[in-house]
Chain A
Amino acid sequence: MIYFDNVSKLYPDGRAAALQEVTFQVAPKEFVSIVGHSGAGKTTLLKMIIAEDKPSVGQVFYESLDIHRIPRGKLPSFRRKIGTVFQDFKLLPHKTAFENVAFAMEANGRTDEEIAENVPQALSLVDLDDKAWNFPHELSGGEKQRVAIARAIVNQPDIIIADEPTGNLDPIATYEVVQILRKINDLGTTVIMTTHNKGVIDEIERRVITMDDGRIVRDDATGKYVL
């Protein structure tokens, strides 16, 4: 469902390349982990999927749609098909957990009835029913990340993109977040995640793509963390 066709990303001065001739595809319902050192190009890769960054060469497809030929006005509706989770959570600071999740649905034009029904379900899936009315600054790191995951899944996207979702979390919170992502994947959503965390990779036991210096150096069906 996601297809990278010979994608390179060069910086204008031509000194360094963030991505070099990257080609791979992700099938529906897959759980793909992307590992690599800092600066290996993992985040650039994810940004291309949500049209935050453009390839210098090559194309990125979502099903048969060339992501970087989507007109600007259509980008918001495209992004609603993809749930995103970030290392720094990216919650709206002046909205409660409930409102943060509801915002994604409001932006999507859902009805109030749907919001009243789906937001509690999403919060309950990440085990945060009792923190629905807390503001982000009243939540722990793990709780914030779970709110972000609830927001990412509430519109029932086809795919979840998670950029270092456990990067700022302690081991217990990391374990919880990984369990939630696996549960979401088991329910049928494709997950693409970048990580540094060896324990996380070894525990998931799914496909692992290893990147180094902008290139894909390994692609294992049930990978281990090898660097």
Chain B
Amino acid sequence: MITGLRRVMKAGFVGFWRNAYVSLASIFVLMVALFVIGATMFLNQLLTVSLDALQSKVDINVYFVPNAPDEEIERIRDAVASLPDVLFVEYTTREEALQQYRERRQGDEISLQALEELDENPLGGNLSIQAKETSQYENIARFLDEQRAAAEPQTPVIDVINYDQNRDSIDTLTGVINATEKASFTVMAILLIAAVLITFNTIRLAIYTSREEIAIMRLVGASNMFIRGPFMLQGIMYGFIAGLLALLAFYPLLIWLGPRTELFFELNLLTYYVQNFGSIFGILVGIGITLGLVSSTLAVARYLRT
């Protein structure tokens, strides 16, 4: 058993070297396929990060009237926070709002002087609400409208809800995000299928050149596993080397591309690559090995049937 395994390993390595040209061609094609897969992964990451960044800039603000009672504000804040669609709620008190106003108008003497003229703080507290998905803002806005409507007309609590002002941009953004996700998913699926088919065909051709050898091995009385083993090992080697080469090819590309993606998408791909090297290595090499192994096993099986 161990002798058999050792012989299969040796035959696999020797076959790999002696068929160097065929091996090289297979590795190259597999590398291109893995590069495409890796590139779609990076692209997907860029899209996810930039969409997340865009989404986090969207929020709904609720401005309370300056004399709104604290318990009412707290009640609304807690009610909003308990909605399933809400990611988080940030409460800014009247005093903090004033502080922020002052900081923003630093150097604007007229505004600051105008503020000094007033006896009391003219600003109300406000809630900044972020939803998990942009499509959920409408529900949150409706909930807030109900809250406003429920209050006594003489003593309103909520002054302004700014959803209506942001509505168009939020709707557009939701549409863009959905369309982008659909499109990128379709493109990735097509690229992945193409990569798998091309790899499978290349390895099938590589083994097609060995069909005579397989027939001879059968005549000499070699068992199917003894014939298949070296080809399976070669498939694994193709995948492993191709995965390493694809990883290697990304490095200089990302050194060049990284700073540019940082400017545009707020994500430096080089940093992402370095920080997640372990999982990217695992995915690319893993896919390579799986593709190589499955392709070669299927391709040899054709010549072992009779």
| Residues of A near any B CB (own CB < 8 A) | 50, 52, 76-80, 84, 90-94, 103-104, 106-109, 111-112, 151, 155
Query: Do B3 and A107 have beta carbons less than 8 Å apart?
Result: no
10 nearest CB pairs, A to B: A80-B221, A107-B222, A79-B221, A94-B18, A76-B223, A104-B220, A90-B216, A76-B221, A106-B7, A92-B213
Known pairs A91-B216, A92-B216, A112-B3; A107 contacts B223 (CB<8 A): yes
Report Cα–Cα, A93/B19, bound state, in Å: 10
Report Cα–Cα, A167/B97, bound state, in Å: 102
Closest to A103 in B: B220
Interface centre among A78, A90, A107, A108 (most CB of B within 10 A): A107
Query: Do B4 and A76 have beta carbons less than 8 Å apart?
Result: no
Residues of B contacting A103 in the complex (Cβ-Cβ under 8 angstroms): 217, 220, 222
Interface centre among B14, B15, B212, B222 (most CB of A within 10 A): B222
Q: How large is the interface on B (under 10, 10 to 19, 20 to 34, 35 or more residues)?
A: 20 to 34
Residues of A contacting B4 in the complex (Cβ-Cβ under 8 angstroms): 109
Query: Do A76 and B18 have beta carbons less than 8 Å apart?
Result: no
Shortest CB distance A50–B (Å): 7
Interface centre among B14, B220, B224 (most CB of A within 10 A): B220
Residues of A contacting B222 in the complex (Cβ-Cβ under 8 angstroms): 76, 103, 107
Which one, A77, A90, A94, contacts B221 given CB within 8 A?
Answer: A77
Report Cα–Cα, A17/B4, bound state, in Å: 42
B226-258 residues at the A interface, CB under 8 angstroms? 226
Report Cα–Cα, A94/B217, bound state, in Å: 13
Residues of A contacting B18 in the complex (Cβ-Cβ under 8 angstroms): 94
Report Cα–Cα, A50/B306, bound state, in Å: 13
Query: Do B220 and A79 have beta carbons less than 8 Å apart?
Result: yes
Report Cα–Cα, A109/B212, bound state, in Å: 22
B181-203 residues at the A interface, CB under 8 angstroms? none
- 7 A-B residue contacts at CB 8 Å? A76-B218, A80-B221, A103-B217, A104-B221, A107-B220, A107-B226, A155-B221
Shortest CB distance B239–A (Å): 21
Shortest CB distance A191–B (Å): 17
Given contacts A79-B220, A92-B217, A151-B220, 7 further A-B contacts (CB under 8 A): A80-B221, A90-B215, A92-B213, A92-B216, A93-B213, A103-B217, A107-B217
Query: Do B3 and A111 have beta carbons less than 8 Å apart?
Result: yes
Shortest CB distance B225–A (Å): 10
Query: Do A109 and B3 have beta carbons less than 8 Å apart?
Result: yes
Residues of B contacting A77 in the complex (Cβ-Cβ under 8 angstroms): 221, 223
Whether B219 sits at the interface, judged by CB under 8 Å, is yes
Shortest CB distance B246–A (Å): 28
Query: Do A108 and B221 have beta carbons less than 8 Å apart?
Result: yes
Closest to B15 in A: A94
Report Cα–Cα, A90/B218, bound state, in Å: 11
Residues of A contacting B217 in the complex (Cβ-Cβ under 8 angstroms): 92, 103, 107
Shortest CB distance A15–B (Å): 24
Report Cα–Cα, A112/B3, bound state, in Å: 9
Residues of B contacting A90 in the complex (Cβ-Cβ under 8 angstroms): 212, 215-216, 219
Residues of A contacting B7 in the complex (Cβ-Cβ under 8 angstroms): 106
Residues of A contacting B219 in the complex (Cβ-Cβ under 8 angstroms): 50, 52, 79, 84, 90
Closest to A155 in B: B221
Shortest CB distance B142–A (Å): 70
